Amino acid sequence: MGATTFIGIIPARYASTRFPGKPLAELGGCTVIERVYRRVASVLGENVAVATDDDRIRLAVEAFGGKALMTSAEHRSGTDRCLEAYRNLGSKADVVINIQGDEPFIAPEQIRAVMECFGTPSTRIATLARPFAKERTYDELENPNTPKVTIGRDGNALLFSRSVIPYIRSGERTGWPAATQYYTHIGLYAYRADTLAEITTLPQSPLELAESLEQLRWLENGYRIKVALNDSPTIGIDTPADLEAARKYLESHAI
């Protein structure tokens, strides 16, 4: 067998309840989506494309020399959009990497960490997590917009939750971050192409509906998710306030 091949697909929607048009927001002299694209391309070269449902995003990507294609506006998730894009591109890549279009600081080493999970043939799905620094506060840990993950000794995810997991039975909550190692989830996924085709046919599951976390559907249906660890900082752009935080971060970092 030859080396495992990869393609990076960046799902990007214009509509967003909290921040419409965020892929086209200006960040340090270019759009958010251009920053994401260039970081992915630094690892995957030409094997990257934006999958969108809005011509404004497609045109913006093509304007900076990127590859973009239109996909259905009816998709329930970025995972579904990735599958359509993979098929429409006629790609034969073994593994599809799903990079969120609102992660302008995704680091090349984070992408490579997920790719390395597929050195093991049994890996069907992989994702990324960051160790939560013990000096950080419980309020930061508790943020429901930052999902948490617990990981087994085999490196596979046990559970994802917007709640703080694990729950520490004794001691004040302010001391929880220092009491055990927590992990926060970074929404970067990779799937073997045949597995991607399988999981997009699954109906929504009870845990997924409760937490609004798509990956719980896969766990509930018996799929294992390998978790790569990396502590590189990222700032996801979910709100205008996140964009301002990202701009301040750029001011103090030469990126």
Across the chain, which has 255 residues, the per-10-residue mean pLDDT values are 90 86 93 96 98 96 97 91 97 97 93 97 97 97 94 98 97 96 96 98 97 97 98 87 91 75
> Sign (positive/negative) of CA torsion 33, 14, 50, 64?
negative
Longest Cα pair distance anywhere in the chain, in angstroms?
56
Q: What pLDDT score does 209 carry?
A: 97
Radius of gyration of the chain (CA): 18
Q: What pLDDT score does 243 carry?
A: 93
By three-state DSSP, how is residue 221 classified? coil
The CA distances from residue 234 to 68, 162, 198, 203, in Å, are 24, 18, 30, 31
Q: What pLDDT score does 234 carry?
A: 83
Query: Which parts of the chain are beta strand (E)?
Result: 6-12, 26-27, 30-31, 48-52, 68-70, 95-98, 125-131, 148-151, 157-161, 183-192, 225-229
Residue 141: enclosing H or E segment and its boundaries? helix 138-142
CB 71 within 8 A of CB 85: yes
Closest CA to 34 of 4, 71, 62: 62
Q: What pLDDT score does 1 carry?
A: 55
Q: What pLDDT score does 57 carry?
A: 96
CB 237 within 8 A of CB 246: yes
Closest CA to 110 of 10, 186, 183: 186
171 residue type, one letter: G
**Which residue shows structure tokens 């085999």?**
154
Residue 227: enclosing H or E segment and its boundaries? strand 225-229
Residue 21 per-residue DSSP state? T
